[in-house]
Structure 1
Amino acid sequence: MMGRTKPGVLNIDKPAGMTSHDVVAAVRRHTGIRKVGHAGTLDPLATGVLLVCVGQATRVVEYLQRGQKEYVVRIRLGEETTTYDAEGEVVARHEVPALTAHELRAVLQGFVGEVMQQPPMYSAVKYRGRPLYKLAREGKKIEARKRPVRIHAFELLRWETPDLEARVVCSPGTYVRSLAHDVGVALGCGAHVQALRRTASGTWRVEDAIPLEVFLASGEDWPRYVHGLRAALSMLPPLVLEDEMAYRFALGQRVRLEAAVGRGEYRVLSADEKLVGVGRVMDEGALLAPHKVLVDPQMLLPEVQEG
């Protein structure tokens, strides 16, 4: 099956109650393809956009992970839990202060910008090589190091005590559970996530996602839901190489560009717009080094083989 299926990305709408690994395993079973991975964990409680990479697309996961994330979250005030969400044990209850929507918006706005965030104890963040959630299950409490994240937007959508609903736009690596917990700290009443839906990851939106149950019911027709590698790398600027240069790039060789371009990473294309791979421009913008080659060199320059 893999031989006739292009590598690419599935924009899956993850259901609640499954881990991201569960989704990957289900896709692997359905497609018969072993090389499957996801580009950004969603908690079991969460639903929405989960990008699943199939075949060679697993090599570009790092680029898909870079996009900013967008969520709709329902936060319950007045209760703290062990996991910072509804799946954890309630460890404290507090009276919820009387708040107007205007006052609540002001509190949420205070989190917009770069903030130092502490990951929840129940997370995959590692401490001395071990995931925090495993340490938590052993009854150990570790103060994970805070790290900078950026909250681009934190907008109140609905407020009906004790629950608020908000839209969050944030940098990758942000824990919305920690954000909800910090809102509870700011209000002095505690809080946790009741429901969470990822509505976008980079340019991939939930409106275009395929529900997992629909994908799993698609039988042999599932390849039609696969987005190609070019879509997976659309966030990188294109750089077109002439045939011989593209061929040398595909062999893993550095190539000197005819005209200098800005330094950074590029989606490298051949003259006929085949995707060749990802390259990094260095040396004052004149030297292109392969970072990931995604094509067989023989597909680029048949005449070189004959000559």
Structure 2
Amino acid sequence: MPAHPKPPTGLDGAGLLVVDKSGGVTSHDVVSACRKALKTRRIGHAGTLDPMATGVLVLGVERATKMLGLLSLTTKEYTATVRLGAATTTDDAEGDTVSTADASAVTDSGIDEAVAALTGKISQVPSSVSAIKVDGKRAHALVREGEDVVLEPRTVTVSRFDVLQRRRGSDVIDLDVHVECTSGTYVRALARDLGAALGVGGHLTALRRTRVGPFTLEHARTLDEVRDDPHVSLDIDAAARTAFPHRTVTSDEAESLSQGRWLDPIGMSGIYAALDEDGHTIALVQERGKRASTVMVVRPATLRP
């Protein structure tokens, strides 16, 4: 009599897929294409990129989708091009031009001073075409419906805002910049505010995300590469080791965690991965008081063979 096939565990093919998104497609387009390539519906993203932007987009596949909300993706890194001399409705090149000014008189020292003022902990008004919700609707959707949207300022940290190259045209200046910032920072708002501070307007003409948390372009593959060789960038164990601190647990402790029970704390802060002696991730754990409790059981006892 033939043996019954084992039920799927959600661990086969599970992990994080880091995509190098191309310009002109939405993040949802990327998710859809990856679902087709990997032949699964269980794919989600850990934050979107604007259609114009390129670079690092982190996706969770199969059981790793449960990991996405726990990832510490609080820092991001970008390269971008800021054009001084024109402001747009979207603060980037996809919007309509609302004002122009001759930027030829703007000095390098003036640019440096304005950039310095936008570095560190700053108050920033997000772009009106951001994905922030206003009364239950995305701000960009309200703008498309013809509504005027002014979002509340928020405190963000720009740890690095470096001008790498300056190119002067007849009446515009293009600045290639490198930005490191906290999550929630809008680079196009930096371009807008830089241009406003210099009195000539500014917007982004290019944006490339080079890092999200610990995930960089070195982990990333293009959509064509994913289609040609469909697999995750990091399996669920490698993803946990890359994204979280980790501790090795005994076989008895692994069994307890697999059943959702807690362990004694060892003084580790934040969420960390508990690995068995073979390096497999059993659970993501967080210590509170006298307990190290599971926040996600990666390998529940019910799913193990």
Letter in structure 1 aligned against 2:118: F
2:18 corresponds to: 11
> Secondary structure of 1:58's match?
helix
**Is the CA contact 1:39–1:65 (under 8 Å) kept in the aligned structure 2?**
no
**Is the CA contact 2:161–2:178 (under 8 Å) kept in the aligned structure 1?**
yes
**Is the CA contact 1:97–1:189 (under 8 Å) kept in the aligned structure 2?**
no
- Residue 160 (structure 1) aligned with residue 167 (structure 2): yes
> Is the alpha carbon distance of 1:232 and 1:149 closer, same or farther for their aligned partners in structure 2, counting shifts above 3 Å?
farther
C-alpha displacement of 1:142:
2.4
Cα distance in structure 2, aligned partners of 1:294 and 1:277:
5
2:147 corresponds to: 140
- 2:262 aligned to which of 254, 260, 278: 254
2:5 corresponds to: none
> Is the alpha carbon distance of 1:208 and 1:295 closer, same or farther for their aligned partners in structure 2, counting shifts above 3 Å?
closer
> Secondary structure of 1:141's match?
coil
Relative to structure 2, which stretch is displaced further, 21-30 or 236-245?
236-245
1:49 corresponds to: 56
> Secondary structure of 2:129's match?
coil
Output the aligned Cα RMSD: 2.1
**Is the CA contact 2:156–2:184 (under 8 Å) kept in the aligned structure 1?**
yes
Letter in structure 2 aligned against 1:165: D
> Secondary structure of 2:94's match?
coil
**Is the CA contact 2:285–2:294 (under 8 Å) kept in the aligned structure 1?**
yes
Deviations 1:35-75 (A, max 9, x none): 11122211100111111221111111124462411111101
Cα distance in structure 2, aligned partners of 1:10 and 1:205:
12
> Is the alpha carbon distance of 1:40 and 1:90 closer, same or farther for their aligned partners in structure 2, counting shifts above 3 Å?
same
1:215 corresponds to: 226
Letter in structure 1 aligned against 2:247: L
- 1:279 aligned to which of 264, 274, 285: 285
> Is the alpha carbon distance of 1:147 and 1:164 closer, same or farther for their aligned partners in structure 2, counting shifts above 3 Å?
same
> Is the alpha carbon distance of 1:2 and 1:98 closer, same or farther for their aligned partners in structure 2, counting shifts above 3 Å?
farther
Deviations 1:150-180 (A, max 9, x none): 1010000111132111000111121111111
1:179 corresponds to: 190
> Secondary structure of 1:210's match?
coil
Cα distance in structure 1, aligned partners of 2:88 and 2:198:
16
> Is the alpha carbon distance of 1:203 and 1:81 closer, same or farther for their aligned partners in structure 2, counting shifts above 3 Å?
same
**Is the CA contact 2:237–2:279 (under 8 Å) kept in the aligned structure 1?**
no
- 2:105 aligned to which of 98, 111, 130: 98
Letter in structure 1 aligned against 2:262: R
> Is the alpha carbon distance of 1:102 and 1:207 closer, same or farther for their aligned partners in structure 2, counting shifts above 3 Å?
farther
**Is the CA contact 2:110–2:198 (under 8 Å) kept in the aligned structure 1?**
no
C-alpha displacement of 1:2:
9.1
- 1:80 aligned to which of 78, 87, 95: 87
2:292 corresponds to: 288
Figure out how many residues of one structure are paired with residues of the other and give that number.
293
**Is the CA contact 1:8–1:55 (under 8 Å) kept in the aligned structure 2?**
yes
1:245 corresponds to: 253
Cα distance in structure 1, aligned partners of 2:47 and 2:159:
19
Deviations 1:76-132 (A, max 9, x none): 111111111111111111221523434322321221111111111111100121110
- Residue 131 (structure 1) aligned with residue 138 (structure 2): yes
Relative to structure 2, which stretch is displaced further, 4-13 or 186-195?
4-13
- 2:46 aligned to which of 18, 36, 39: 39
Cα distance in structure 2, aligned partners of 1:252 and 1:236:
19
Please list every run of 5 or more consecutive structure 2 residues that lacks an aligned counterpart in the other structure. 1-7
> Secondary structure of 1:222's match?
coil
Deviations 1:249-285 (A, max 9, x none): 221222334xx414432111223332012111011xx
1:200 corresponds to: 211
C-alpha displacement of 1:242:
2.0
**Is the CA contact 2:11–2:63 (under 8 Å) kept in the aligned structure 1?**
no
Cα distance in structure 2, aligned partners of 1:209 and 1:264:
26
1:305 corresponds to: none
> Is the alpha carbon distance of 1:114 and 1:78 closer, same or farther for their aligned partners in structure 2, counting shifts above 3 Å?
same
Cα distance in structure 2, aligned partners of 1:56 and 1:3:
5
